Chain A
Amino acid sequence: MTNKRKSRLEQEQSASSPLRKVFGRPSLLKDVPTHFCAGCGHGIVHRMIAETVDELGIRERVVGISPVGCAVLGYDYWDFDVSEAAHGRTPAVATGMKRARPDLIVFTYQGDGDLAAIGTAELIHAANRGENITIIFVNNAVYGMTGGQMAPTTLEGQVTATTPSGRTLEGCGAPLKVPEMVAPFPGTKYLTRTALNNPKNIIAAKRSIKRAFQYQMDNVGFSLVEVLSPCPTYWRLSPLDSLKWMEEKMIPCFPLGEIKTPG
């Protein structure tokens, strides 16, 4: 990392102040008010990505692609190059970028609707081709931006705007497990599922995201980190109860841990 790009944390530590700052905003996360709802997980994931890019020293070669959905405004927060993509087409856009400029570190940031519904074809084929890209898949079991409709990852029985009596397997199908779906492809190298329900898991999620980026830098191949993330607004729960719901309902349906590792 260059001196110019020293994190705010480091800068403040080196100052002569008797107070030592031990936690601060990552240098690549802009100092702007968040537009996310109270208790939403997106801000945490944004932060972890900013930290990762900072720590790996790749700000000058990273390109992020934000999804259509709540996280579309990624470029309002990240201090590096970002593109939008049409809904679900994100892995195809990433493919075009990475093949045209293999020296870039290309990641997509996708929600469950973007990745697991409208964008399944692009996901599956980018994964099967073994594109050397990183997908950060934020699964909150619901469409947030459009008002809380059923997502492919909505749990059985979960009430949403379009499943007023709860999701039924008959007619709606079962919650899609994305990393497991692409795990059999020889092209996929690193697949893992993490969650934001407690500090321990958040630290683990950050570690996974950093690993995935590192694999791309090492030309290992396709990586996908699923992050189970709370959506208190459309789960109709308080932020605290959302974390409880994640632990009790969501994680049993989407087991945490590495699904596939390189080598």
Chain B
Amino acid sequence: MSKKVLMCGNEAMSEAAIRAGCRCYFGYPITPQNEVAAYMSMRMPQVGGTFIQAESEIAAINMVFGAAAVGASAMTSSSSPGISLKQEGISYLSACELPAVIANVVRGGPGLGSIGPSQADYFQATRGGGHGDYRTIVVAPSTVQELVDLTVLAFDLADKYRNPVLILSDGILGQMMEPLVLPDAINGNLPPKSWALTGAKNRPPNVVKSLYLDVDLLEQLNFHLQEKFRRMEREETRWEEVGTGDAEIVLVAYGSVARICRAAVRQLRETGEKIGLLRPITVWPFPCEPVARAADNALAFLVVEMSMGQMIEDVKLGVAGRRPVNFFGRVGGCVMTVEEVVRETRKALKEIR
């Protein structure tokens, strides 16, 4: 169990999914996540699972829907344009209260974009790119080890809440190889799913549906879903803080960009600057209160993203106008350097002094 292996993020995530009990994977080729489907096509037959290369991302997410509806632990993965195509299916999964895991190995956008890494799908991931009042837990790992750990968590949370969970990876994490420890495969069966469509044996029929022509019933469904989402906010918000206690400036970054910021914080600390890092591990639910608490002491924030500024809106909601919130971003597949982040942080420092 404690043996270290060297794997790229896409393959490590796939293996973690299988060890978390996933037995159905449906995917469609798109760079930079093709290693997932290739790995699953090799591994699923070995564990008695199902792999299908679907005719489209739309078909893949709906195969996930079908597998989830009959009680299977199912997953799909894609990259930005393909995730756009899955949004309808994600809305249906949430409305029908079906557990599923969807991984987005984000690439540059909009449109066909580039195959380089990006974080420009933050809005889509955290606001729900599909229709209706739904939410999905979104985990945002920053190392391949964390990608493995959060993949296991994603399956647990999907089952716990009967709701889709998104893994927000990116072209860096997916492709990068790192040493890691894989989790043990779960033993025995997953908890029974009494709601699943398994054939109406010794029970009244089960129905998986999201159509409620009676508007009062649909409102009730929405109230019920909102209760779950509020519970997710209370119980599933995850984040990490590095040196925020005495920080004059708090950097806020998630995913692979948080690694770059961590290195920048270290460099700046070595020169005596009081800089901290707040790293959301779930970007929905977003760690709004930790940001608010950080605003008690910090003089300013610097949000760093591989986008033109999306998570910054959540940071501003947490800061609530009490401190300046600066932004630095690179886009389109371009990755910021540690030096650039140090330079931007010094610029922000100058402004508060």
A, B: real partners = yes
Task: Using CB atoms and an 8 Å cutoff, list the residues of chain A in contact with chain B.
Answer: 59-63, 65, 72-73, 75, 78-86, 89, 92-101, 104, 121-122, 124-125, 129
Stretch at the interface among B67-75, B149-157, B298-306, B327-335: B67-75
Partner of A81 from the list B23, B55, B72, B207 (CB cut-off 8 Å) is B207
Query: Smallest CB-CB separation from A121: which chain B residue?
Result: B55
Q: Give every chain A residue within 8 A of B67 (Cβ-Cβ).
A: 96-97, 99-100
- Shortest Cβ distance from residue B268 to the other chain A in the assembled complex, whole angstroms: 49
In the complex, which of the residues A84, A89, A125, A129 contacts B211, with contact meaning CB atoms closer than 8 Å? Answer: A84
Contact assessment for B211 and A72 in the assembled complex, using a CB-CB cutoff below 8 Å: yes
Q: Which of B63, B96, B201 contacts A96 (CB 8 A)?
A: B63
Contacts of A104 in B (CB 8 A): 70, 197-199
**Do residues A81 and B50 form an inter-chain contact, with CB atoms below 8 A?**
no
- Interface size for B (C-beta < 8 A) is 40
Q: Does B178 contact A (CB under 8 A)?
A: no
Closest partner residue, chain B, to A79 (CB atom)? B205
Residues of the A chain whose Cβ atoms lie less than 8 Å from the Cβ of B96: 83-84
A-B contact pairs, 9 of them (CB 8 A): A59-B199, A60-B199, A83-B207, A85-B66, A89-B59, A96-B72, A99-B67, A121-B59, A122-B58
**Measured CA separation A93–B59 after assembly (Å):** 8
Residue from the list A63, A73, A78 in contact with B197, Cβ < 8 A? A63
Please give the residue numbers on chain B whose beta carbons come within 8 Å of chain A beta carbons, in ascending order: 23-24, 26, 50, 52, 54-56, 58-60, 62-72, 74, 88-89, 92, 96, 197-202, 205-211
A95 to B65, CA, bound (A): 10
Most buried by A among B50, B60, B66: B66
Q: Complex: how many Å from CA A26 to CA B174?
A: 54
Q: With A75-B209, A97-B66, A100-B72 in contact, is A81–B198 under 8 Å at CB?
A: yes
A100 touches B201 (CB 8 A): no
4 pairs of A and B residues whose beta carbons are closest in the complex? A96-B66, A96-B63, A100-B72, A92-B62
The chain A residue with its CB closest to the CB of B73 is A100
Query: What's the minimum C-beta distance from B205 to chain A, rounded to whole angstroms?
Result: 5
B52 and A95 contacting across the interface, CB-CB below 8 Å? yes
Cα of A98 to Cα of B65 in the assembled complex, Å: 12
| Closest residue of B by beta carbon distance from A90 | B62
Which residues from chain B contact A73 at a C-beta distance below 8 Å?
Answer: 211
CB-CB under 8 A from A96, the residues of chain B are 24, 26, 62-70, 72, 74
A82 touches B205 (CB 8 A): yes
Across-interface contacts of A92 in B (CB, < 8 A): 54, 58-60, 62-63, 65-66
B197:A81 contact, CB within 8 angstroms: yes
Query: Cα distance A256–B26 when bound, in Å?
Result: 36
> How far is it, in angstroms, between the C-alpha of A85 and the C-alpha of B98 when the chains are bound?
12
A99 in complex: contacting residue of B52, B56, B68, B71, CB < 8 Å? B52
Q: Which residues of B contact A63 (CB under 8 A)?
A: 69-70, 197, 199
Please indicate the chain A residues that have their CB under 8 angstroms from the CB of B50 in the complex.
Answer: 99-100
Select from chain B the residue with minimum beta-carbon distance to A96: B66
Question: Cβ of B54: which chain A residues have Cβ within 8 Å of it?
Answer: 92, 125
A65 to B70 CA separation, bound complex (whole angstroms): 12
Closest to A128 in B: B55
Q: Which residues of B contact A95 (CB under 8 A)?
A: 52, 59, 63, 66
Taking a contact as CB atoms under 8 Å apart, the answer to whether A100 and B70 are in contact is: yes
The minimal Cβ–Cβ distance linking B200 to chain A, given in whole angstroms, is: 5
Q: How far is the CB of B102 from chain A (nearest CB, A)?
A: 14
Q: Is the CB of A81 within 8 A of B59?
A: no
Closest residue to B202 on the A side, CB-wise? A60
Report the Cα distance A93→B209, complex, angstroms: 13
A53 to B69, CA, bound (A): 20
Q: Which residue of A lies closest to B60 (CB)?
A: A92
Nearest-CB residue, chain B, relative to A133: B66
**Quick one: which of A63, A78, A80, A82 has the most chain B CB within 10 A?**
A63
Alpha-carbon distance between A72 and B303 when the two chains are bound, in angstroms:
47
Write out the residue numbers on chain A whose beta carbons fall within 8 Å of the beta carbon of B210: 84
Contact A80 B56 (CB under 8 A): no
**A6 and B68 alpha carbons, distance in the complex (Å):** 32
Q: Which residues of A contact B55 (CB under 8 A)?
A: 121-122, 124-125
Distance in angstroms between the alpha carbons of A92 and B56 in the assembled complex: 10
A98: B residues at CB distance < 8 A: 66
Once A61-B199, A63-B199 are accepted as A-B contacts, the answer to whether A100 and B207 lie under 8 Å apart by CB is no
Nearest Cβ on chain A to B351's Cβ, whole angstroms: 50
Q: How far is the CB of A27 from chain B (nearest CB, A)?
A: 12
The distance from the CB of A182 to the nearest CB of chain B, in whole angstroms, is 14
Q: A73-B211, A92-B58 are in contact. List 19 more A-B contacts (CB 8 A).
A: A59-B199, A60-B201, A75-B205, A75-B209, A81-B199, A81-B207, A82-B209, A84-B92, A84-B211, A89-B59, A92-B54, A96-B65, A97-B66, A99-B24, A100-B24, A100-B67, A100-B70, A101-B198, A104-B70
